[in-house]
């Protein structure tokens, strides 16, 4: 029988990450032996645990790429996973530490991803879709999905707070939308496209006007919804059209342990905080704002889901699998995530999965016993468990918290 083994994983140092030891990514990476030191001036944005080429995990014992190990140990993936996804892991597990907002974006579905990859392979580097789940590790902020249309109408009316929309979008479209009593996705699509394609100088000037208006209202001691968020986004991305997107998309605040699931074509942007993220094994992103990277407004607006729904509808709840395990099981086959919490000085048999899994020890120290192996693992350690391999965990003197990702088949 195959054995469990430790992985050494990759770090991404994107500009929006948290710096130095303020980053959960750097703290986990240092504690787990993925990096040797932390530079307090460096950003540490993402810890990648999987087989995507630009962030390949390695077998810690010998430095071999995990994908190469899997190529000669295919049974480790499990029959069900191989039947559906072939001879590779279908998921990528991450930790994110976010200091400034990520881009407003969507992930294409499989059909769209294949077309984009064929037409623009340098921009869309694979043909896979990228649904994902984010589970908060700290207080976490995000934009996710369109607001209920009734809320958007209130903002567009905005004669006292947001008159700039009449300049950007035009009175005709706004009046049509206000008078329409149904959830007309065609109208909101036209309005959003008009916002995203308005001349940049007009957007910049409108942002200045809007900020000045917000300051006037603040001086008058009027508390304005989203004022701080608008000003913060403009501070991070001056004059960016994405600042106005907060009046169209749900602003969500998660507490540790809460989650959101992002299916294909759902507009979103992570703003601040730390999270576990798991996704299909892909790096396809269609961006349109709050970014210095390539933006593709036309493709984003053509593919985006314009359904309006309340913020609370975007929360994704785990289900209790057993006394120690909460299972986050999204409606895709590529991945699921189990959160395992083991009390101090307790022995726990991890549920045997018939597919391969990757495990991150988030907190605590434990003994991990495989079929014939014995390891002491602590915070930041990452473990690969082959399919059908039983694993026993013995918690030390404090609670042990673990995240486990695996194919949802």
Secondary structure of 10-24 in HEC code, one letter for each residue: EEECCCCEEEHHHCH
Instruction: Tell me, yes or no, if 147 is annotated catalytic.
Output: no
Helix axes 200-219, 227-236, angle to 10 degrees: 140
Length of the chain: 409
In eight-state DSSP terms, residue 324 is S
Of the residues 27, 82, 147, 287, only one is catalytic, namely 287
- Lookup: tokens for 26: 């750097």
Q: With 0-12 CB in 10 A as exposed, 13-18 as middle and 19+ as buried, what is 84?
A: middle
Helix or strand run (H / E) with residue 193: helix 185-197
Write the DSSP assignment of 130-181 as a string of letters. --EEEEESSSEEEEEEEPPHHHHHHHHH-TTT-THHHHHT-HHHHHHHHH--
- As a whole number of angstroms, the distance between CA 243 and CA 198 comes to 13
Q: How many helices (H) and strands (E) does the chain have?
A: 11, 24
Contacts of 228 (CB under 8 A, 6+ apart): none
- As a whole number of angstroms, the distance between CA 275 and CA 268 comes to 15
- As a whole number of angstroms, the distance between CA 327 and CA 339 comes to 6
- Lookup: tokens for 30: 């240092």
- Lookup: tokens for 295: 């933006």
Ordered strands of the 347-349 beta sheet: 347-349, 392-395, 365-369, 374-378
- As a whole number of angstroms, the distance between CA 307 and CA 322 comes to 35
- As a whole number of angstroms, the distance between CA 364 and CA 326 comes to 18
Q: Which residues are catalytic?
A: 287
């Amino acid at each position: 029988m195959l054995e469990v083994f430790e992985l050494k994983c990759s770090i991404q140092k994107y500009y929006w990450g948290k710096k130095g030891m303020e980053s959960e990514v750097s703290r986990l990476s240092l504690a787990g032996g993925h990096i040797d030191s932390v530079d307090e001036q460096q950003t540490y944005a993402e810890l990648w645990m999987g087989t995507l080429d630009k962030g390949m995990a390695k077998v810690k014992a010998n430095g071999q790429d995990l994908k190469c190990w899997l190529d000669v140990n295919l049974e480790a993936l499990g029959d069900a996973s191989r039947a559906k996804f072939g001879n590779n892991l279908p998921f990528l597990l991450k930790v994110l530490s976010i200091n400034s907002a990520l881009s407003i974006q969507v992930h294409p579905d499989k059909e769209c991803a294949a077309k984009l990859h064929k037409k623009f392979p340098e921009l869309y580097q694979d043909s896979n879709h990228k649904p994902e789940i984010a589970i908060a590790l700290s207080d976490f902020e995000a934009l996710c999905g369109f607001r209920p249309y009734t809320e958007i109408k209130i903002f567009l009316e905005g004669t006292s707070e947001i008159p700039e929309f009449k300049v950007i979008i035009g009175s005709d479209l706004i009046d049509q939308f206000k008078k329409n009593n149904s959830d007309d996705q065609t109208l909101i699509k036209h309005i959003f496209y008009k916002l995203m394609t308005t001349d940049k100088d007009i957007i910049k000037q409108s942002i200045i006007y809007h900020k000045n208006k917000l300051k006037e209202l603040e001086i008058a001691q009027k508390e304005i919804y989203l004022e701080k968020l608008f000003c913060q986004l403009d501070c991070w991305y001056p004059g960016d059209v994405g600042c106005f997107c907060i009046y169209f998309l749900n602003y969500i605040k998660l507490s540790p342990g809460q989650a959101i699931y992002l299916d294909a074509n759902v507009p979103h942007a992570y703003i601040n905080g730390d999270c576990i993220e798991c996704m299909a094994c892909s790096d396809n992103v269609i961006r349109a704002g709050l970014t210095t990277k390539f933006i593709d407004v036309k493709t984003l607006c053509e593919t985006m889901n314009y359904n309006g729904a309340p913020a609370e509808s975007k929360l994704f709840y785990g289900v209790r699998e057993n006394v120690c395990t909460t299972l986050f099981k999204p409606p895709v086959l590529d991945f699921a995530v189990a959160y395992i919490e083991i009390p101090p000085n307790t022995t726990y048999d991890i549920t045997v999965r018939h597919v391969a899994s990757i495990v991150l020890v988030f907190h605590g120290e434990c003994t991990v016993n495989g079929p014939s192996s014995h390891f002491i693992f602590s915070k930041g350690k990452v473990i690969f468990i082959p399919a059908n391999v039983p694993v026993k965990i013995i918690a030390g003197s404090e609670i042990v918290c673990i995240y486990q990702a695996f194919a949802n088949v």
